[in-house]
Structure 1
Amino acid sequence: MDNKAIWTKDFIVTSIINFFLMLVMYLLIVTIAPYSVREYGVSTSVAGLVSGIFIIGTLIARLAVGGLISKIGSRNILLVGLIITVLASVFYFGAVNLPLLMANRFFHGVGLGIASTATGTMVAQMLPPSRRGEGIGYFSLSTVLATAIGPFFGIFLSQHFHFTVLFFFCLALSICCAAMFFFVKKTPVAMPKKAIEVTKVKFGVSSLLEKRSLPIGFITLLAAIAYSGVLSFISFYAEEVNLVSAASFFFLVYAIAVLVSRPYTGRLLDIKGNKFVVYPSLLLFAVGLLLLSGVQAGWMLLLAGGILGLGFGNFQSCAQAIALQGVKPERLGVATSTFFIFLDFGFGFGPYILGTFIPLIGYRELYVMLTIVVIIALLLFMLFSRMNKSSAPVEV
């Protein structure tokens, strides 16, 4: 199995589905907050909640489906998630007020949480264990491309067209996802009967969360909170420092940096180990945030985007691979869900929490504060690494 190829048909199609799912997410997540401010006159904190409530829906969905995947199959779970995302994309056209918009954002998040947990689990099940870090690194490029193209086109469309055009585009992408589902013919190996019986008897925290994935999960939570400050407020910050034109290319530079480095970092994780990749990734993440806090020109903003891509962009995929290390095959769905729960929690609540600080300290000081958060995450990783150095298969 270890000699099995990574780039199979199912791997490619599943990656494309994930790309379209993430593209819709990032198209909206960077534009829905400014839209809420313009359309409904809400505060930046409430606008952050409108952006983040999508992730809260995703978080709740992951808690529910992590254990179900091993019972009814990740492909079946994927179909349910895709149906919900199509419906949610339609419902945006009927969200005529803020409560309806927030309700649909939550519903859409549920759909994405179900579908993306399924795609992440399917890929983990397809990959040979010895190449899982490399394979997940390639798979996560689908998310990286979405983080670049999504915000880029989202900002462009919102500046030049009515939001209805953006909603139509998101609906078309969601329908494409649903159509491509039927090209994924392979159903990964189901959970052994013995394991299913154990799961039925022991229902509790262990059925929702994977213990081995918790340490890297907590570190991912801090990193996600820090990056949510970039994702949700970069448009506001760019307006404040008069760098709107450069900001439209910020995520494109971010993605280029990840695309260039990701093929190497995933393989290095498998060969050299976790610390070899995570230490520099978190350090670069902190440097990028610090540079972002003091930008004076467009080139500085774009340089910060590139450094953040090398930092958080690579940390995210490596952390996902680490969360699956040493996990039994029948627990891959729960482990995948556990990782994304912490990631989503940071993305979901981060904008709302950070939005309360902005009126008090401003954007520049916010990014300085987030630099400290990332340094704390690095120190925690060092601590967990020392605590687990005697357990190489689950090193974090």
Structure 2
Amino acid sequence: MRLLPQDMRGHEAPGARRPVKTQKGGTLMTKRVGAAREPLWNKPFILVLAISVFTCTASQMVTPLISKFALSLGAPLTLAATISSFMSLAALFCRPVSGILSDRMNRKKIMIVSTAIVALSMACYAFSTNIAMLFGARVVHGIAFSFMGVSNMALGSDFVPESRMGEGLGYLGLGNILAYAIGPSLGLEISGTFGYPAVFTLAASLAFISVAAMFLIPDTPRPAPKETAEKKRFSVNNFFAKDITLYVAVLILFTCGNGLMNTYLAILGEERGIPNVGLYFTAYSLAVLLVRPVAGKINDRFGLSAIMIPAFVLGCGGMLLVAGAKSIGPIVLAGVLKALSQGAAQPAIQAYSIRYLGKENAGVATSTCYIGQDLGNSVAPIVGSFVVSGFSFGTLYAGYAVLLLAGGTGCYLLQRFIERKKAGR
């Protein structure tokens, strides 16, 4: 029996008891509707959140610079975009494995090892003198990053009460948001003043500090998973949660925008003479800091529909602003609109997926969501390079805006129809 989506449960009287089961058939539990909420802010959760800020800041300092760094090494635009996106492409192929390992092995140890490798790969960027060295470091970075991201989110979910999963994962995602506010602008400023190696060295140092802090996190007392026949034979469901495939498609569409902005915003700014384009990332991050906690509570109370439908409209509007931007104002406003759309929708889908599949499958739920994000981040810049070469940046961002609105809404509504049909409603 699957856990029903929140906006399919109907209205319940305060004090009533609600049955809850995981998808895989765990022990039946009940929780009292309207009762006092379970505490969220415990020390391990706060520590995981702080570590997320450091690791994400390190990555965001580097990400917007890779395409420009590759151009400085002599790469053409298409190759530079490919190298920039190859981190996500490498992570894509490792997500299924990282998900199942996070469900079966010690999540803390996986996070320590993977973050250490991320730090080493960023240090290697500083010594890259040709395209081959940069490409190799990028691939290693992507592989390790896939394990780091999945284990971080799955480990964090161990310290979040089930009744506050949407809110908890929303706060945990604030590590990405704070990093988005600080990292890109800091990286661009440092690279302009001290050069690329200084940025890569500082990013690697932040990642190594995070590794040291991880030893302070207690091991999670998780019960051993039941070895069902399905798990023993390593079925597709162990690697990819096909029940949320259409939600993955939605995440692909949202993160296509991330890939396009991370790869091309700095280049677009130079072409159009727009200064300080890094303020886009700052505006996005500051807006999400305000939006995400509220969005998490809305998701927990009213379900996905209250988040998703506005998200597609606002995301489309933001990219249309970028398509026609001639000054910094529309760029900053686009960051705010993207925060109101993807910043609210992405953690809502992640929280829903963990609820739907059960906390014992948090690893595969998280990795499946990240697969969508990796596809968007990796494919969009490569496809975008051909659009820019044949047309313009305006055509690229306007076309993406239409695709997000039409494709995202279609995928979401179809997924909800399928779930209601399975539930017999």
Name the structure 2 match of 1:94.
127
Structure 1, residues 141-161: CA drift from partner, whole Å, max 9, x if none?
Answer: 111111121111111112111
Aligned length: 390
2:377 is aligned, of 341, 344, 347, to: 347
Q: Per the alignment, do residues 198 and 94 of structure 1 end up closer, same or farther by CA in structure 2, a change over 3 Å counting?
A: farther
**1:226/1:373 contact within 8 Å kept:** no
Amino acid across the alignment from 1:350: A
Name the structure 1 match of 2:348.
318
Structure 1, residues 172-204: CA drift from partner, whole Å, max 9, x if none?
Answer: 101111111111013241432xx2353553213
Identity over the aligned pairs, expressed in percent?
Answer: 24
Name the structure 1 match of 2:152.
119
2:68 is aligned, of 25, 34, 38, to: 34
**2:158/2:220 contact within 8 Å kept:** no
Distance in structure 1 (CA, Å) of the matches to 2:422 and 2:45: 30
Structure 1, residues 46-104: CA drift from partner, whole Å, max 9, x if none?
Answer: 11111111112222232212111222121121122122123223322332211111111
Unaligned runs of 5+ residues in structure 2 are 1-30
Amino acid across the alignment from 2:413: M
Distance in structure 2 (CA, Å) of the matches to 1:219 and 1:248: 26
Amino acid across the alignment from 1:228: G
**1:223/1:312 contact within 8 Å kept:** yes
2:332 is aligned, of 290, 299, 302, to: 302
Moved more, 159-168 or 2-11: 2-11
Q: TM-score, normalised by structure 1?
A: 0.93
Name the structure 1 match of 2:173.
140
Name the structure 1 match of 2:314.
284
Q: Per the alignment, do residues 3 and 141 of structure 1 end up closer, same or farther by CA in structure 2, a change over 3 Å counting?
A: same
Q: Per the alignment, do residues 23 and 237 of structure 1 end up closer, same or farther by CA in structure 2, a change over 3 Å counting?
A: same
Distance in structure 2 (CA, Å) of the matches to 1:81 and 1:391: 39
Q: Per the alignment, do residues 227 and 164 of structure 1 end up closer, same or farther by CA in structure 2, a change over 3 Å counting?
A: closer
1:129 is aligned, of 162, 169, 172, to: 162
**1:357/1:366 contact within 8 Å kept:** yes
SS in 2 for 1:244: coil
Amino acid across the alignment from 1:363: F
**2:110/2:148 contact within 8 Å kept:** yes
1:45 is aligned, of 75, 78, 86, to: 78
1:162 is aligned, of 187, 195, 210, to: 195
**1:50/1:105 contact within 8 Å kept:** yes
Structure (1 or 2) with the greater helix fraction: 1
Distance in structure 2 (CA, Å) of the matches to 1:102 and 1:145: 27
SS in 1 for 2:392: helix
Distance in structure 1 (CA, Å) of the matches to 2:377 and 2:273: 26
2:283 is aligned, of 253, 256, 259, to: 253
Name the structure 1 match of 2:5.
none
Distance in structure 1 (CA, Å) of the matches to 2:386 and 2:193: 30
Aligned counterparts, 1:181-192, within 5 A: 181-192=214-225
RMSD: 2.0
SS in 1 for 2:355: coil
Larger radius of gyration: 2
1:67 is aligned, of 100, 105, 108, to: 100
SS in 1 for 2:356: coil
Unaligned runs of 5+ residues in structure 1 are none
Q: Which runs of 4+ in 1 moved over 4 A?
A: none
Q: Per the alignment, do residues 131 and 390 of structure 1 end up closer, same or farther by CA in structure 2, a change over 3 Å counting?
A: farther
Amino acid across the alignment from 1:6: L
Name the structure 2 match of 1:106.
139
Distance in structure 1 (CA, Å) of the matches to 2:103 and 2:94: 15
Structure 1, residues 254-297: CA drift from partner, whole Å, max 9, x if none?
Answer: 11111111111110000011000111112100110111111132
Amino acid across the alignment from 2:305: K
